[in-house]
Chains A and B, each alone.
Chain A
C-alpha cells in the first residue's frame, strides 16, 4: 500500500515540527511549508492526500489558500489558534473538510486525519496490516496468518484504536472514552481485561506494551 502524503502549512517552526514528528511516528509521509507561497509550489510539484493548514500564515491568508486548493479535491484540515466560532464557520464555508483548535492533542489530530482520509478516499482504505494480522474493515474480519480470529465487538474496536494509533501510548481513560463512550467511568479494569484478551487471541503479548503508570501502546517493529 502506498504511503499517505500530508502537507503541513504552518508558520511556527516548533508547531510544524511537532506535527511532522507525530505524523512520522504514525507512518505518514509529510512535507512542511512555512508560508502560502511555498505551500502552493509544493502542491504543484507533488500529489498530496491531505493538507493541514494554519489559518494565520504569512502571505496569502489561509481562507484564500483553501479556495485555491479546493479545485484539486485535496482535503484540508484547518489548524486555528483562535476559538472564534466565525473562524471555523468561515473555514468550513471556504471548503475545509474539518478544523482543529490549538492546542490540540496528537491523538485528536491523528483521529481527524484518519476520518478525513477515510471520507475522501470513499472507503478506499479497506484493510490494516500489521505483521501477520490483517483487519478487513468492510467485512469486520480479523485474520491472523490468514485464519479468522473471533473477537467481541469491543475487542474489535479496541484493536482498531490501537492500530490507528500504533507506536503511540493511549491512556486507559482515552481508550474508555473512545471504545466505551464513558459507559465505564473509572472502570479501567475493563480496559486491562480486554487488552489481555487481545494479547492472547493475536499472540501479541510483546507487541502490546504496557506503558508504566500511563496506558498501552501497540508497537510496530522497525
Chain B
C-alpha cells in the first residue's frame, strides 16, 4: 500500500468517524431534548387534567355528597370536555378505578401488555412510560386522582419525535454520503499532489541507483522533502566523486598494465627473434653482428625498465629517513656525471647553484636530477643549452630547476606527463626515448619529500621542470 493511499485512507476514516460520532451525538441530543419537552408537556397537561378532575371530583363529592357513581358520571362528563380539546393533538385520557377497570377511555388502540405505571401509583406522584403500540410511540402518564382510588392515565402520541429523529438520520446519511464523496475526491487529489515530490524523488533516486550518478534531484520546495532531495543530491555527488575516482584509478592501472606489457613485449620479441635468427639461419658475419648488437641493446633496455619499475614499486612503500643536505653540492655532482654525455651530444650545461639546504634523501634526489637532465638532453638539439639552477625558493624552502631549449611538450600532453608510461606521440619514434617512467618516478620521489613538482613547456621553445622542497 502506498503512502499517499495510507494518508488518504487514514484521514478519510478519521473524518468519517469524527463526523459520524458528532452527528449521532447531536441528533440523539436534540431527540432527547425534544422527548424531554414532550414528556414535560405530557406531565404538565396530565397535571392540569388531574388537578381539575381531582378538584372537581373531591369538590362535588364533598360539597354535593355525590355518590361514587355520580362522581363517575360527572368525571366522564368532564372527560369528554377535555378529550374534545385534546383529541386533535393525539392525546387520549383514560380513567381506571382501583381495580384497573376502565371507567372511561378515549384511547383507540388496544394494548394488552403489562402496565407498570399502574402499579401502586402514589398520590401526587406521576409515573410515566413510553410505549410502542403498532407503529406509533405513546407517552403514558398515570397518577391517582386525590385519594380516590381512581387512576388517571394521560396518553400522548409522540411518534413525531421518533419520526423526526428517523428523518433526521435519513437526511444525515444522505448528507454524509454526499460529503464523503466530496471529501474523498478532494483528499485523494490533495494527498496525491502533496506526495508528488516523494514520487519524483523516488524516480530520481532510482535513476541514481541504476548508475546515473551524474543525475540530480530537483530540490524545489523547502519542506522536509526538499531537504531530503538536497541530501540525496549531496550523497549522489559524493558517490559520483568516489565512483569517478575509482574509475580513474582503475583506468590508470589498466593503462599502466597495458603499457608495461607493451614495454616488456617489444624488447622480448626482439631478443627472442634475433636469438632464433642466429640459431636457425645460415647468415653472414654482418648479420650476426647486427643481431647480437640488438640482443645486447634490448637486454639493456629490459634491464633499465626493470630497475625503474623496481624503483617505482619500492618508492610506493617506503618512509624516508631525510637528512639535511646542500642541494648545490648535488647539482655540482650531477654536472660532473653528465659531462661525457653532454660532450657527446654537443650540449652546454649552465649551472647556477646557490647554497640551499633541505631535508632530502641524497640517492633519491640524485635520481630526480639525473632523470630531469636526461630528459633535457634527449629533448635538446646538438648545440643547445641546458640550465640547471638551485637556491632558496620564493615561498620558503628550496627549489631546483632544469630548463632546456629543446623540442618542448605539446599542451595536450602536459597534464599527463607525470603518469607512468606516458610518452608523447612524437617522442615515441625516437629510438632513445625511454618507457615514460622518468617523470613519474620524479613525481613520486618529490612527493616522498613532501615537495611539489611543476612543469612548464612550449612546443619548439623548450621545457622547464621545477622542484620545490619544504
A: residues with CB less than 8 A from B are 11-15, 17-18, 21-22, 25, 34-35, 56, 58, 81-82, 102-106, 167-170, 211, 214, 217, 219
A-facing residues in B256-289 (Cβ within 8 Å): 258, 261-262, 265-270, 272-274, 276-277, 279-283, 287
Closest to A20 in B: B290
Q: Which of B258, B282, B283, B294 contacts A17 (CB 8 A)?
A: B294
In the bound complex, do residue A22 and residue B270 qualify as a contact, i.e. CB atoms below 8 Å apart?
no
Interface check B340, CB cutoff 8 A: no
Assess A58 versus B428: contact at CB under 8 Å? Given A18-B277, A103-B272, A103-B273: yes
In the bound complex, do residue B280 and residue A12 qualify as a contact, i.e. CB atoms below 8 Å apart?
no
Interface check B110, CB cutoff 8 A: no
In the bound complex, do residue B270 and residue A15 qualify as a contact, i.e. CB atoms below 8 Å apart?
yes
In the bound complex, do residue A214 and residue B428 qualify as a contact, i.e. CB atoms below 8 Å apart?
no
**Number of B residues, CB within 8 Å of A:** 30
In the bound complex, do residue A11 and residue B297 qualify as a contact, i.e. CB atoms below 8 Å apart?
no
In the bound complex, do residue A14 and residue B429 qualify as a contact, i.e. CB atoms below 8 Å apart?
no
Assess A14 versus B270: contact at CB under 8 Å? Given A25-B281, A106-B276, A167-B281: yes
How far, in Å, is A211 (CB) from chain B's closest CB?
A: 8
Assess A103 versus B280: contact at CB under 8 Å? Given A18-B274, A21-B287, A21-B291: no
Closest to A26 in B: B281
Question: A35 to chain B: which residues have CB within 8 Å?
Answer: 429
Closest to A35 in B: B429
In the bound complex, do residue A106 and residue B266 qualify as a contact, i.e. CB atoms below 8 Å apart?
no
Dominant SS among interface residues on chain B: helix
Q: How far is the CA of A14 from the CA of B277 in the complex (A)?
A: 13
Q: How far is the CA of A102 from the CA of B426 in the complex (A)?
A: 23
Question: B273 to chain A: which residues have CB within 8 Å?
Answer: 15, 18, 22, 103-104, 106
How far, in Å, is A199 (CB) from chain B's closest CB?
A: 17
In the bound complex, do residue A14 and residue B298 qualify as a contact, i.e. CB atoms below 8 Å apart?
yes
Assess A22 versus B277: contact at CB under 8 Å? Given A14-B267, A103-B269: yes
Interface check B62, CB cutoff 8 A: no
In the bound complex, do residue B270 and residue A21 qualify as a contact, i.e. CB atoms below 8 Å apart?
no
Assess A18 versus B294: contact at CB under 8 Å? Given A105-B276, A214-B279, A217-B282: yes
Q: List 26 A-B contacts (CB under 8 A).
A: A11-B428, A14-B274, A14-B294, A14-B298, A15-B269, A18-B269, A18-B270, A18-B274, A18-B277, A21-B274, A21-B290, A25-B281, A25-B283, A34-B429, A58-B426, A58-B428, A81-B265, A102-B269, A103-B268, A103-B269, A106-B273, A106-B276, A106-B280, A169-B280, A169-B281, A170-B280
Q: B233-258 interface mask toward A, CB cutoff 8 Å, 1 = contact, 0 = none?
A: 00000000000000000000000001
Closest to B268 in A: A103
Interface check B431, CB cutoff 8 A: yes
Q: How far is the CA of A103 from the CA of B273 in the complex (A)?
A: 8
Q: How far is the CA of A4 from the CA of B18 in the complex (A)?
A: 103
Q: How far is the CA of A21 from the CA of B293 in the complex (A)?
A: 13
Question: B297 to chain A: which residues have CB within 8 Å?
Answer: 14
